[in-house]
């Protein structure tokens, strides 16, 4: 049901819907682009931030309106809030006792989305880079606090997945008064140190995951090398027009970060070659599947902002690209090249058509030396908000050892270390993981 509600304090509701046991409400909030400037009495630029409210139709509308809020912070950076068509997993469990606010973090989805076309409106590359400095975790947290006040909510529960967990740590650092309890899945960020230490840990874990995968599918070891050598010698083009390079093909290692998803890598690779009149070539089916995996067309913000999530008062300077030199087994010319993952390299902005226009902006952000701190270690050491975090022992994206280092630095944070899940564990058993973490924080009261 569409409706027009006059904005109240920068808040409007555009539509409500009910289907398959879900009620949704579409919220739009007007927030400052720069919360820090606005707090000093300014009346600067604003942006629109979108959030969709989900509740279970098992509750009457009146009962649902009295339920406490749970704010979900999605992974990323650059990932919009989940669009669901039925309640399942962690959302099914949460909807029994909460109204869920699914936030499109600024720059994603319907919240001032960042794409080449929208950035062009900002001016030259320097102006675009300056604009993007307002799209990190500190601004996302400030948006959340603004929204909480507009909704007249007391301290709320926050669930942060991956980068959403990073944001939750920032929330605990700068606005803990807004938090009743915090649940984190695969998202305990390192609180200090250069980005280099993150990628050293990442490359070690991705190498180990390659070894594990090839022990399950030994035939794929030769096949991956064969594809890389083929791409070195034979031009193959994606449907979007660009040549598929060996290093870009290696990005299909993103499958390695999943529980069941890892086995889908085998099904992708088995589609690789097809006989043609000119000999064996890569199949159209394979090339199209790869194109979807290696393009950042749907979330360019991920590539542009990814390393900045580790930037604190120093430049990241393409940390993953620099650290890669110490791990030659990932180079395409290695005897048996390994698959990579979600790390970002400068050549992304030369080979991905959706990123080429953002090359200069990305370079400026990589060289930025004065990033503001994302965490207050003193405040975290004195934390009083109940926090529970799922730490996945073999997570290739958020390192187990670095996660436990952070857990020890946050007073009262309870880590649940498990070998049963990888980075996307919440998608495998979201109901069980949510229930366990919620039980941990409630028991800690």
Residues marked active site are found at 162, 370, 423
Nearest alpha-carbon partner for 154 in 142, 164, 145:
145
Integer Cα distance of 435 and 159 in angstroms: 12
Q: What angle do CA 81, 194, 389 make, to 5 degrees?
A: 45
CB atoms under 10 Å from CB of 107, counted, come to: 30
- Looking only at the bridges linking them, the beta strands covering 46-56 and 99-103 are antiparallel
Nearest alpha-carbon partner for 202 in 344, 410, 313:
344
Helix (H) or strand (E) holding 322: helix 319-324
34-54: buried (b, 16+ CB within 10 Å) or exposed (e) per residue? bbeebeeeeeeeebebbbbbb
Q: And the tokens for 294?
A: 């290696």
DSSP state of 86: S
Nearest alpha-carbon partner for 47 in 134, 133, 120:
134
* Chain-centroid distance, C-alpha 145: 20
Asked whether 14 and 4 are in contact (CB, 8 A), the reply is yes
Quote the radius of gyration of the chain (alpha carbons, Å): 22
Nearest alpha-carbon partner for 396 in 262, 237, 245, 304:
262
């Amino acid at each position: 049901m569409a409706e027009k509600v006059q904005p109240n304090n920068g808040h409007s509701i555009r539509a409500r819907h009910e289907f398959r046991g879900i009620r949704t409400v579409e919220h739009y909030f007007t927030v400052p682009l720069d919360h820090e400037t606005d707090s000093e009495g300014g009346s600067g630029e604003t942006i629109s931030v979108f959030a969709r409210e989900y509740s279970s139709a098992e509750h009457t509308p009146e009962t649902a309106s009295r339920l406490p809020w749970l704010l979900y912070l999605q992974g990323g950076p650059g990932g919009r809030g989940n669009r669901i068509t039925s309640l399942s997993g962690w959302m099914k469990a949460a909807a029994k006792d909460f109204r869920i606010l699914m936030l499109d973090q600024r720059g994603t989805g319907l919240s001032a989305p960042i794409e080449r076309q929208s950035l062009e409106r900002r001016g030259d590359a320097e102006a675009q880079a300056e604009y993007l400095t307002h799209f990190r975790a500190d601004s996302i947290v400030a948006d959340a606090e603004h929204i909480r006040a507009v909704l007249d909510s007391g301290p709320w529960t926050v669930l942060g997945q991956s980068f959403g967990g990073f944001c939750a740590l920032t929330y605990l650092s700068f606005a803990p008064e807004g938090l009743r309890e915090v649940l984190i899945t695969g998202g305990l960020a390192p609180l200090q140190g250069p980005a280099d230490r993150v990628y050293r840990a990442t490359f070690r874990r991705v190498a180990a995951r390659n070894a594990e995968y090839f022990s399950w599918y030994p035939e794929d070891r030769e096949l991956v090398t064969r594809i890389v050598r083929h791409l070195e010698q034979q031009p193959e083009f994606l449907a979007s027009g660009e040549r598929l390079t060996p290093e870009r093909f290696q990005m299909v290692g993103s499958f390695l970060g999943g529980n069941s998803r890892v086995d889908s890598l085998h099904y992708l690779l088995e589609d690789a070659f097809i006989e043609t009149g000119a000999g064996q070539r890569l199949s159209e089916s394979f090339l199209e599947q790869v194109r979807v995996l290696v393009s950042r067309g749907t979330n360019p913000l991920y590539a542009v902002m990814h390393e900045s999530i580790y930037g604190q008062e120093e430049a990241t300077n393409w940390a993953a690209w620099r650290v890669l030199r110490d791990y030659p087994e990932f180079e395409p010319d290695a005897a048996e090249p390994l698959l990579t993952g979600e790390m970002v390299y400068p050549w992304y902005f030369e080979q991905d058509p959706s990123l080429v226009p953002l090359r200069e902006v990305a370079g400026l952000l990589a060289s930025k030396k004065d990033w503001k701190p994302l965490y207050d270690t003193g405040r975290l050491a004195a934390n009083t908000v109940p926090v529970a975090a799922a730490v996945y022992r073999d997570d290739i994206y958020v390192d187990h050892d670095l996660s436990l280092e952070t857990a020890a630095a946050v007073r009262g944070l309870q880590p649940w270390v498990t070998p049963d899940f990888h980075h996307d564990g919440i998608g495998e058993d979201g109901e069980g993981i949510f229930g366990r973490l919620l039980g941990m924080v409630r028991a800690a009261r």
